[in-house]
Copies of this chain bind each other. A is one copy, B any other.
Amino acid sequence: MPHRDRVLMGPGPGNPYPEVIEAFSRPVLGHLDPDFIALLDETNERLRAVWRTQNRLTFPVSGTGSAGMEAAFVNVVAPGDVVVVGVNGVFGERMCDVAERCGAQVIRVEAPWGQPLDAQQLLDAHPAPAIIAVVHAETSTGVRNDIAPLAARPVGTLLLVDCVTSLGGIPVEIDDWSVDIAYSGTQKCLGVPPGLAPLTLSERAVESIVERPQSWYLDLNMIARYVTGEGARAYHHTAPITMIYGLHAGLGALLAEGLEASWARHAECGAALHAGLEARGFRLFAADGHRLPELTTVWLPDDLPAGLDDATIRGRLLDRYGIEIGGGLGEFAGRVWRIGLMGHTARPRNVTLLLGALDELLDR
């Protein structure tokens, strides 16, 4: 099969750190091998550092980011529970769908695509919801929703946050923001290929886990006995060994650089891309002040040269330059691009490359 390498500047996956690919070649161990258990424990300790949490139940779910979302809801939602969901993009919509399948009574709090959610509206939506759920970094729009103000929620309401595109790229402060449940994906700002979903639960969230979640595969009552160091290591399902090697190595690269340094690198690259696009007359899509550095959304120009449109330009970027960028979703398909600078991809050279390629293709 043909295989070419790409500069992955879409909405994820980004390019993995070289250390991750090296780790994939390590000899496979059994999921109960003492050496693997030690590596899993160290992976979870690294995740705690990246999540900025002391949460005991912190580990990678054996699936992609959406499995993390499902694990987050399915373990704590009981039928009839009121769940307030912020919706300003595809992933807020997805949260509603997942929560409804768990039997939740969903209250939607909406903002237009490209605009951030209003934290006060989320807090005012219901006097005592079981859960308030928000996407931190909306991958469909490039918007950051602020989480810290939601600490003012009622006692007894769990705060559930989607950090798929934020973790590692912008500040995420699980303990300081009093987040109860959060999940991420490996293929964004953690610089690891897709396949695992880091998940973390506060003790309050752990106490809220239902007795028998409708999902066996994601049942945290059982998984916790394997992934935490407490008691016997009871087998639940076979851990995805090689992917965990990759995550362990990616987190190692990230923490060796330093979490704040990674945030600063993402911020610098995002700012350079935003400035470079605006200097060329592009209009950014996401609201000023809430733009993600790791995922830039931008309107296609109105004055494209003849014969060029969304598909042709993205096709030429891919074929001529080996650059992948993402298209818009929903009503913005064909009208907006989504440009990622995530993990190892978040390098000044990639900003320079993409702007140069656009200059050549659009003859600016």
Residues of A within 8 A of B (CB): 1-6, 8, 10, 12-13, 15-16, 21, 24-33, 35, 38-39, 42, 62-67, 69-70, 74, 94, 97-98, 101-102, 185, 187, 193-195, 212-217, 236-243, 246, 248, 318, 324
Contact = CB atoms under 8 A, between A and B. Distances in A.
Contact of A243 (B243, B318, B324): B243
Contacts of A12: 238
Contacts of A237: 64-67
Contacts of A213: 101
Contacts of A8: 28-30
Instruction: Please report whether the interface of chain A is mostly helix, strand, loop or mixed according to DSSP.
Output: loop
Given A25-B25, A62-B63, A65-B238, A101 B212 contact: yes
A214 B101 contact: yes
Nearest to A10: B30
Given A1-B38, A97-B216, A194-B239, 17 more contacts: A2-B35, A21-B24, A24-B24, A62-B63, A62-B64, A63-B217, A66-B236, A66-B237, A69-B217, A70-B215, A94-B216, A185-B238, A193-B241, A195-B241, A214-B214, A215-B215, A242-B243
Contacts of A94: 216
Contacts of A74: 215
B248 A13 contact: no
23 contacts: A1-B42, A2-B35, A2-B38, A3-B26, A3-B39, A4-B35, A8-B28, A10-B30, A13-B30, A16-B28, A24-B242, A63-B67, A66-B238, A67-B237, A69-B216, A74-B215, A94-B216, A97-B216, A101-B215, A101-B216, A194-B241, A195-B195, A195-B243
A74 to B, nearest CB: 8
A237 B243 CA distance: 17
A34 B94 CA distance: 26
A100 to B, nearest CB: 9
Contact of A4 (B16, B27, B65, B215): B27
